[in-house]
Amino acid sequence: MDNAKKLVMIGNGMAGVRTIEHLLKLAPGAYDITIIGAEPHPNYNRILLSSVLAGGADMKDIVINDWNWYEENRIRLLSGHTAIKIDTKSNTVTTSRGTVAEYDALILATGSNPFMLPLPGADKEGVIAFRDIRDCEIMMETSRKYKKAAVIGGGLLGLEAARGLLHLGMDVSVVHIHPYLMERQLDQAASKMLQKELEAQGMKFLLQKNSESIYGRGRVKGLRFTDGSELEADLIVMAVGIRPNVELAKSSGIDVNRGVVVNDFMETNVPGVYAVGECAEHRGIAYGLVAPLYEQGAVLAKRLAGVETAGYAGSVTSTKLKVSGVDVFSAGRYDEPSGTRAMRYQDEVEGVYKKIVLQDDKLVGAVLFGDTGDGAQLFSLIKSGESVKGKEKELLLGFAPGGSSAASPESRLEAMAGDEIVCGCNGVSKATIQDAILNKDCTSVSAIKACTKASASCGGCKPLVEGLLKVYGGDAAGAPVKEGICGCTTLSRDEIVAEIKRMELKSVKEVMHVLGWDNPEGCSKCRPSLNYYLGMLWPMEYKDEKESRFTNERYHANIQKDGTYSVVPRIYGGVTSPAELKKIAEVAEKFDVPMVKFTGGQRLDLLGVKKEDLPKMWEELDMPSGHAYGKALRTVKTCVGETFCRFGTQDSIGMGIRLEKEFERLNTPAKVKLAVSGCPRNCAEATIKDFGVVAIDGGWELHVGGNGGVHVRATDLLCVVKTQDEVVEWASAFLQHYRENAQWNERTSVWIERVGLDSVKKALENKEDREALYARIKTALSQTVDPWKEIVSERELRKNFESLPEPAQVQI
């Protein structure tokens, strides 16, 4: 990439990164790309934050491009950096952390900021917006301590925030200044039906209320209105609108109106500087929905790649809301301006409302409530501007005038034209999805998503995608949808492992080729899992494929949000010596380590280490890695046991050290934590570990499947044994059985819930079976060495680090 131009993008959101995705396909290698992102996260789907709150998705599920994507595409990601200065004369961008990035082309993708009402008291703790992951986290944390929430704003975002808070168990009131909800997308009839449905779910509404102030001392206690009434609230979420984030552009001499002013090719008034997404203003409009922003990104990518394009001409927008089973669709004009006529259908019993707005025999607007199946077809007609004369009743009712009954959803989908857009966010037509099902063996929604990106953004089109799968899926239409380990394959973990064994496949590439991966290069989900399965099955023959491991595991340190690293040497059982402590202290001083912290696993963590210091630091420490970054044995936590404690019944320190030395460097499907408590008082918290040992009079209780993380799970009692040798035997057998049968990235707590404790007990009950498992785990361990000893010289060590891009955060 020596001849590549330098492209810097400010913003790591959906519109900007979609532009980069297009550019990478159109002109791979043409640009050396740097992305500056203020949040300490990879590119994620902001639209699905409401699904996270409502329990329909986890945080990991809304990530669009994970950390490995940036590395695989050689993109330098400055996460946690805020751009503070653009010098359009020297073509540089300066970040809040002092990094200066040069550019030949600059994309402003700074998005928008939530509008916070300037109310007295708006700066109190507990007053937030609903815009990013941190806002979601605050809502979740607040719901554990407090019960009353108020959402200011009865629009799309406010209602989704309110539904999420209801799911979290809070008492939620929505405050809206207008007489009915979603007045920008719905007419009054549809809005009242929506309100009725949401009230039935427990949501409360205060309409035509004008907020005056927020009261409380340090933390919010409630909201006061201009009519003198009050509403108690421990949390206030403002969802009253967004404003394009233009301050940086404005201070840099770039033309700004409401947004950053751009032409049809997303160019600003400054040569080489472009803007895309919510921050951009095109022909006087700043869009806040994802579909037009993706259309802008496609045009900009072509412009940067030198591909001829007609330019961006603006967008007709649509809105789809799904709140716990309530379906709402709105597109175009719904307010019946002069010169238009409207047709309505309303069924209060079934909870269905439909309205279309016509002008000059053309469809110009539509509102659907309860039954939104015709939304894509109506939206396509609005955008095309074709005449619908004579078809008005059919469009409204969903069946031909004079017909006796409504057409089935399947027949409606079959009748859709091939060029009709199903996924507005990503511009995916019915014909594209049909082709994926019929000709590319996409037999699940996830496979269609991976192949076409349909339903990959807001998810509103998922019912249509599922419907098309039923129509064109043939024999698979009525069968359970088959999901693979990732979008590259429909094969499950068990099928893949069985085929690797049967055909004796010995490399990641070979597995993907022989088993017919849709993506011949694999992805960041399947490559690490295949690498693990091959190493587990062929410990003596398979050579670990470093490029298929997560970056943290390749560089033996945890990268932090500021781009520095965390180094954790192994301290067996939490027991150290003055000499070892002195060595760690000397190394920390020599390399100016900003912080040394005791971890929850009784080790020392050296935080804030520079990338370039990692090789020499490990060399001078001359201690085994604690694998704080790996899918491996992390820690064995111990209490002092009978050695010092008056309650101790066994030598928990000695037992813990023995287990840690027995299993260090063991690769596992997910991270594994052990603990040994010297008595039933359980000071080492052994009953929330993957494998816990609790001393009792005359023996040891062995516990399995615990987790002390987000989803806390107490262990199940596996058995009781008498000797330390038996503890090691059972621990070895259990861990090897887990290694051989769990899915990649599946913690023991999840695995035990899936397979059941009885199945594990049965697999380990015979001593011969335990001894066989013990032998296999010993074979696997015999092939491992401390990661730093794999690199035979400092020269090779440093060379290994040269390929690590400047700071790109990596998630394990």
Residue whose C-alpha is closest to residue 334's, from 208, 183, 211, 149? 183
Q: E-strand spans in 529-628? A: 558-559, 565-567, 595-598, 604-609
Residues 164 and 268 in one domain: no
Cα–Cα distances in angstroms (integers) from residue 710 to residues 59, 305, 671, 688, 707, in the given order = 12, 44, 14, 12, 8
Q: How many CB atoms lie within 10 A of CB 577?
A: 9
Residues 686 and 719 in one domain: yes
- The residues, ordered by sequence, that sit 6+ positions from 489 with a Cβ below 8 Å of its Cβ are 496, 515, 516, 517, 518, 526
> Which range has the worst mean pLDDT, 14-18, 474-478, 615-619, 762-766?
474-478
Which of 574 and 671 is assigned the larger pLDDT?
671
The whole-number pLDDT of residue 555 equals: 66
Residues 236 and 248 in one domain: no
Which of 721 and 57 is assigned the larger pLDDT?
721
Residues 170 and 82 in one domain: no
Select from 513, 534, 549 the last residue of a domain. 549
Number of residues in the chain: 812
Cβ atoms of residues 443 and 466 within 8 Å? no
Residues 526 and 545 in one domain: yes
The whole-number pLDDT of residue 788 equals: 52
Please give the distance of CA 8 from its chain centroid, rounded to a whole number. Answer: 24
Residue type, 266: M
> Which range has the worst mean pLDDT, 313-327, 348-362, 461-475, 556-570?
313-327
Cβ atoms of residues 437 and 447 within 8 Å? no
Q: Is residue 452 part of a domain?
A: no
Reported as half-sphere exposure (CB side, CA atoms, 13 A), residue 652 has a value of: 35
* 767 phi/psi in degrees, rounded to 5: -60, -35
Q: Is residue 382 part of a domain?
A: no
Task: Please say if the pLDDT value at position 30 is more than 80.
Answer: yes
Average pLDDT over residues 214-229: 95
Domains contained in the chain, number: 4
Task: Please say if the pLDDT value at position 378 is more than 60.
Answer: yes
Q: Is residue 117 part of a domain?
A: no
Cβ atoms of residues 537 and 501 within 8 Å? yes
* Domain residue limits at 149: 127-240
The whole-number pLDDT of residue 174 equals: 97
Rg of the Cα atoms in the chain: 29
Express as a percent the part of the chain with pLDDT over 90: 44
The pLDDT-based confidence of 372 (bands split at 50, 70, 90) is: confident
CA angle 17, 30, 447 (to 5 degrees): 45
Residues 142 and 54 in one domain: no
Q: Is residue 401 part of a domain?
A: no
Q: Residue 709 is part of a domain; what is its CATH number?
A: 3.30.413.10
Residues 89 and 132 in one domain: no
The whole-number pLDDT of residue 509 equals: 87
The pLDDT-based confidence of 200 (bands split at 50, 70, 90) is: confident
Task: Please say if the pLDDT value at position 595 is more than 90.
Answer: no
> Which range has the worst mean pLDDT, 83-87, 348-352, 798-802?
798-802
Q: Is residue 334 part of a domain?
A: no
Average pLDDT over residues 144-166: 92
461 is in an annotated binding site: no
679 is in an annotated binding site: yes
The whole-number pLDDT of residue 358 equals: 92
Residue whose C-alpha is closest to residue 374's, from 339, 330, 313? 330
The whole-number pLDDT of residue 400 equals: 45
Q: For CA atoms 776, 778, 779, 780, give the dihedral sign.
A: positive
Q: Which two tokens stand for residue 67?
A: 């950390």
**762-812 pLDDT, tens digit each:** 999 999 999 999 999 999 988 877 655 554 344 444 444 444 444 433 332
Q: For CA atoms 649, 653, 654, 659, give the dihedral sign.
A: positive
Which of 321 and 711 is assigned the larger pLDDT?
711
Q: Is residue 102 part of a domain?
A: yes
Residues 251 and 287 in one domain: yes
The whole-angstrom separation of Cα 450 and Cα 117 is 40
Query: DSSP code of 612?
Result: G
The whole-angstrom separation of Cα 778 and Cα 387 is 75
Torsion of CA 176, 182, 187, 190, to 10 degrees: -100
Q: Is residue 470 part of a domain?
A: no
Q: Residue 256 is part of a domain; what is its CATH number?
A: 3.50.50.60
Task: Please say if the pLDDT value at position 403 is more than 70.
Answer: no
The whole-number pLDDT of residue 424 equals: 66
The whole-number pLDDT of residue 806 equals: 43
Name, of 316-320, 398-402, 607-611, the range with top average pLDDT. Answer: 607-611
Task: Please say if the pLDDT value at position 84 is more than 90.
Answer: yes
Task: Please say if the pLDDT value at position 453 is more than 90.
Answer: no
Mean pLDDT, the chain, whole residue set = 85
719 is in an annotated binding site: no
The whole-number pLDDT of residue 722 equals: 94
Which of 194 and 321 is assigned the larger pLDDT?
194
Select from 549, 569, 592 the last residue of a domain. 549
Which of 579 and 600 is assigned the larger pLDDT?
579
Q: Specify the 3-state DSSP secondary structure of 523.
A: coil
Task: Please say if the pLDDT value at position 283 is more than 90.
Answer: yes
> Which range has the worst mean pLDDT, 91-105, 112-126, 361-375, 467-481?
467-481
Name, of 382-386, 474-478, 754-758, the range with top average pLDDT. Answer: 754-758
Q: Is residue 132 part of a domain?
A: yes
Task: Please say if the pLDDT value at position 572 is more than 90.
Answer: no
> Which range has the worst mean pLDDT, 289-303, 309-323, 658-672?
309-323
The pLDDT-based confidence of 475 (bands split at 50, 70, 90) is: low
The pLDDT-based confidence of 738 (bands split at 50, 70, 90) is: very high
Residues 53 and 198 in one domain: no
The whole-angstrom separation of Cα 11 and Cα 15 is 9
Residues 258 and 224 in one domain: no
Residues 32 and 59 in one domain: yes
Q: Which two tokens stand for residue 741?
A: 């049968």
Average pLDDT over residues 554-581: 78
**641-664 pLDDT, tens digit each:** 888 888 888 999 999 999 999 999
Residues 83 and 57 in one domain: yes
The whole-angstrom separation of Cα 698 and Cα 721 is 9
Sheet with 565-567, strands from edge to edge, namely 558-559, 565-567, 604-609, 595-598
Average pLDDT over residues 518-538: 85
Which of 562 and 112 is assigned the larger pLDDT?
112
Select from 305, 328, 352 the last residue of a domain. 305
> Which range has the worst mean pLDDT, 156-170, 426-440, 473-487?
473-487
Average pLDDT over residues 585-596: 87
What proportions of the chain, in percent to the nearest 5, are helix, strand and coil?
Answer: 35, 25, 40
Task: Please say if the pLDDT value at position 392 is more than 90.
Answer: no
The whole-number pLDDT of residue 571 equals: 85
